[in-house]
Structure 1
């Protein structure tokens, strides 16, 4: 693997060697990053993951304590992409119909008869912020799962299509567990990424305070339309991924499973490994990351960069791992170092 293939371009670097469609994605990535920086201080890796999810048609689970601009980030992404936005606050008393919508009876003024009319719920938007998703019961979570999986909701036995593009960005607080309903594995597996939203550093926090304590408001400019996003999503899937890249993704995912052939530390620490969807998301995400960084093919570095966001919520550790202080990220990094040592990149 040459350094030229693996190394991403930096923001603002020329990518004139790219084919027209790839150049379009690269230019859009630059424009969206620059526009989002007008509203969001720092969080560059989080922004990159959300842009990758957008191009890959992948849902994301944002994990972080309150007050780290998760809502602002998703709202700003909607503003810069001309997408409709809806925020759903998940609470213990939230009902499935509060998400999907419901039918109401109303009088037809021409006939005088009472007819049913469907009132759309907040799920009918391009970008959904499912705030504190783990605070609502499983029955309501299941309504969101259907929308994420099928791209439609069922009302009175009839499927109703959701807008395209359709992406869910869910949030959860990793610290508070009282009164929460942990997401089942089936729903966790629907999220392409688990995105850790961390605290800003000192310089970033000073900039945040300066920016938010003035009377100046930031109006973001749309850089792309929903129809254009659909076209770019289709183009993203056409990016080639070589056999060695696909094999690395598959080998990494298979290595997380505690079978008899697994590495000893995997058998010791893992209760449940990742499924095939993880391999798919690694390759799809790699394609989007390559385009956003000015390349026309997926590199092994793309797989390495996305391994933890794709796998961390899919690898369930056992009690022994917890007692020894092992995190999913630790196990994934160890597997990467064995399967694809950094020195060979």
Structure 2
């Protein structure tokens, strides 16, 4: 790396810090409180990860995500997961289309809601595993296979899934393979008394909040590349790997409570996420 490259990266780090503060300011115009949740969402986004949000209804999870997409100037789609949702409802489907000039008919692929920069998978555990699996390829490979063809998703691509912890009837627990693809499992808690007072005050009066767009998709992609250029020593990587390996009950250095109470430890993705 040349001196100019280092100088450019230092300037990019300052730009990222400035953009981060501006994003927090704009989101706070709509969302009151939930500072830790917003921080973890932004960490995951800039680290090219995905998030699972767990919280009871009415905590503004959907509003938070749509506001974040608006501030970041990204395409946003919401998928309401239901027991009758099909994989094609997520990825897209082929329709028959007629050319009025020639009279010929052909198939045309209509993209599903997965084709967006930020995708909200609302109540993801309410749909069968077959449909949940439609997200797996998209989350890992940023590609969708449908109608015999593979389509590349636009970058940046960020999946935010939500779960309701108080209702288990009629739900399908997420398999470990899918849980492993989320960088964070974020618990969204009730607001404090003062925050709830402000929420009620602001949402029961006339409001005309103007949201300023802070970043573009290209700028976000550059920040994601910048984070991966941050130098990490071998000692730090070894430390992260040792932490993750200590969660596996078959490891010699695993603690007794791990061997007694844990069936399967964290996988290599956990080490990657710790470094990012």
* TM-score (normalizing by structure 1): 0.76
**Cα deviation code 1:67-120 (max 9, x no counterpart):** 111101110110011000000000000001111111100110121011111111
Q: Which residue does the alignment assign to 1:289?
A: none
SS in 1 for 2:133: helix
161, 177, 182: which is aligned to 2:168? 177
The residue aligned with 2:229 is 238
Which stretch of structure 1 is more off in the superposition, 248-257 or 197-206? 248-257
- Residue 191 of structure 1 aligns to a residue in which SS? coil
1:134 to 121, 125, 128: 125
The answer for the alignment partner of 2:263 in structure 1 is 271
CA distance in structure 1 between the aligned counterparts of 2:232 and 2:31, rounded to whole angstroms: 32
Distance 1:52 1:174 in 2: 24
**Which residue in the other structure is 1:310 paired with?**
none
- Partners of 1:219 and 1:150 lie apart in 2 by 36
3-state SS of 1:153 partner = strand
> 1:98 aligned to 67, 89, 95, which one?
89
Structure 2 residue aligned with 1:113, among 90, 104, 109?
104
Partners of 1:275 and 1:155 lie apart in 2 by 29
The runs of 5 or more residues in structure 2 that have no matched partner are 1-8
* Partners of 1:248 and 1:209 in 2: CA distance: 46
Give the number of equivalent residue pairs. 267
Q: 1:252 Cα shift? A: 1.2
User: How far apart are 1:51 and its partner, in Å?
Assistant: 0.5
Q: 2:46 aligns with which of 42, 51, 55?
A: 55
Question: Could you say which residue in structure 2 is the equivalent of 1:302?
Answer: none
CA deviations 1:266-313 (Å, max 9, x no partner) are 1122111101110001111xxxxxxxxxxxxxxxxxxxxxxxxxxxxx
Deviation for aligned residue 1:122:
0.7
What is aligned with 1:71? 62
Report how far residue 260 of structure 1 moved: 5.4
Contact 2:128 2:172 in 1 (8 A): yes
**Alignment deviations for residues 218-260 of structure 1 (CA, whole Å, 9 cap, x no partner):** 2311100001101111011011223332222111111111125
The secondary structure found in structure 2 opposite 1:50 is helix
Deviations 1:43-84 (CA, angstroms, capped at 9, x unpaired): 111001011011111010001111111101110110011000
1:213 & 1:35 partners in 2: Cα distance? 20
Matches within 5 A, 1:331-342: none
Partner of 2:6: none
Q: Pick closer, same or farther for the CA change 1:183–1:243 going to 2, 3 Å.
A: same
Q: Is the contact made by 2:245 and 2:251 (CA closer than 8 Å) also made in structure 1?
A: no
Could you tell me which residue of structure 2 aligns to residue 309 of structure 1?
Answer: none
Deviates more, 1:56-65 or 1:215-224: 215-224
User: Whole-Å Cα distance in 2 between the matches of residues 134 and 219 of structure 1?
Assistant: 34
Residue 263 of structure 1, CA deviation: 1.1
Kindly report structure 1 stretches of 4+ aligned residues shifted beyond 4 Å: none
- Look up the match of 2:218: 227
Residues in 1 aligned to 2:110 and 2:128: alpha-carbon distance in whole angstroms = 23
- Measured after TM superposition, the shift of residue 140 of structure 1 is 0.5
Which one of 257, 266, 269 corresponds to residue 248 of structure 2? 257
DSSP 3-state at the match of 2:168: coil
Unaligned runs of 5+ in 1: 1-17, 285-345
Measure the CA separation in 2 of the matches of 1:201 and 1:31: 24
